[in-house]
Amino acid sequence: MRDPHARLRRWWEAGRALGAANPLTVDLGIALLVQAAMTMPFVVPRGPELEPATWSAYGLTTLIVIPLVWRRRAPVAVLLAVVAASALYQLALDGPGQPLPYPGLVVVYTVAAVSPPPKRLATGGLLLVAVPVSVWLNTRSARELSFCVFVFAAAYVFGRLTDARQRANRIETERAAARERARIAREMHDILSHAVSLMIVQAEAGPVAVRTAPERAEAAFDAISETGRGAMAELRRMLGVLRTGDEADGPAAPREPQPGLAALPELLDRVRASGLEVAHRTTGTARPLPEATAATVYRIVQEALTNTVRHAAARTVSVHLAYGDGMLDVTVTDDGRGPRPGPGGGHGLVGVRERAAAHGGTAVAGAGPDGRGFAVRARIPVPADGPGAAPRRVASAAEVAR
């Protein structure tokens, strides 16, 4: 059964989109609504003791309303124009009285919502004079004065609340954009840094292999080609997610899922092709992970292996996944030169910590066991076995290495 409010929500969202695209259309609509409200006293029959409403009085109400179309561009000037036209209506013509000062309330709300503090202060000073004078010219009653003060104060408060909400939305939008930029930067770094590092290692070994072992040179060049194609495929996937799919630019690239633990053996094979001996073991009760968590584990291992290839001058590296009670420990250890002196932690290791923190985990990097080599350790919370999970027991020290 259809949601009875779905159509209203669609209309509301369409109206908000139209207002964001063309604020002048919204202001024109508000002016028409205010004019309709001010027309009511002219169409309701007046008492016989009162003079009949005239077209000149009705025309003056329109003159009061018209400035509202420019309320966002020059709110204080519009307020002055509304006050002047209202005073003319009250002093020069005997038109029907209005139950509410609609144009004035709209302008006060706008000044409170969009104007800086000096203009808001000037508006408050103007109202402190205009409201008592208007009441004195009309009924000279404390009741009307208190009512006018209340409605104008309410309009001002609503304007300030709107400004606060818009500021909060802008701040949240900027924060979301910053988080997205950081995420994209991490993805681009992981893809390009890993691929380029492996290609450099293979390219440097190629000339030597050509002279000593041509078959190894051919394998090195094949590895360079395969690594480059893999990097291009991942970049296309990422750019496909970012694209809007505009027909003018052609169809968007297919949106494939992020690489997860199933893609880990392929990653290790690419690193082995660079000449590095890679060992991989899994301990504990392995279980399916959420897609985002599995992608984070993959990227952490990828960045740790990239650092080993680029900086460690290592011969062996070990990747260990340890499943615990609600926790997955990821450890990548090499036998290379260890931590570099000076301030450490490039963008890659910062990205590792950010990825782990995004899932409520932690990550550290430093010297390996007994102070030798380098190790990246991450602890990531994982959900308990779900009803659809099929856990399997993995041998404690099972190793797969070439």
Indicate the number of domains in the chain: 2
In a domain, 118, yes or no: yes
Residue closest to 158 by CA, chosen among 98, 107, 100? 107
What local confidence, expressed as pLDDT, does residue 249 receive? 46
What local confidence, expressed as pLDDT, does residue 137 receive? 77
**The two structure tokens encoding residue 102:** 């609609």
In a domain, 103, yes or no: yes
Residue with tokens 């990246």: 376
> Using CA atoms, how far apart are residues 233 and 4, in angstroms rounded to an integer?
45
The answer to whether the CB of 78 falls within 8 A of the CB of 70 is yes
What local confidence, expressed as pLDDT, does residue 397 receive? 35
What local confidence, expressed as pLDDT, does residue 238 receive? 66
In a domain, 320, yes or no: yes
Q: 329: helix, coil or strand?
A: strand
pLDDT averaged per 10 residues, the chain (length 402): 63 64 83 90 77 82 90 90 86 76 91 90 87 81 87 92 90 83 74 71 67 67 71 68 50 59 88 85 88 88 85 87 91 83 60 85 87 89 59 38 34
In a domain, 250, yes or no: no
What local confidence, expressed as pLDDT, does residue 110 receive? 92
In a domain, 224, yes or no: no
In a domain, 105, yes or no: yes
In a domain, 288, yes or no: yes
What local confidence, expressed as pLDDT, does residue 346 receive? 55
What local confidence, expressed as pLDDT, does residue 395 receive? 37
Q: If you count them, how many residues does the chain have?
A: 402
Where residue 328 sits, what CATH number does that domain have? 3.30.565.10
In a domain, 221, yes or no: no
Range of the domain at 319: 276-402
Q: Which of 88, 115, 140 is the last residue of a domain?
A: 140
Q: Which of 140, 169, 197 is the last residue of a domain?
A: 140
What local confidence, expressed as pLDDT, does residue 135 receive? 81
Strand partners of residue 364: 377
What local confidence, expressed as pLDDT, does residue 65 receive? 92
What local confidence, expressed as pLDDT, does residue 333 receive? 92
Q: Which of 113, 140, 167 is the last residue of a domain?
A: 140
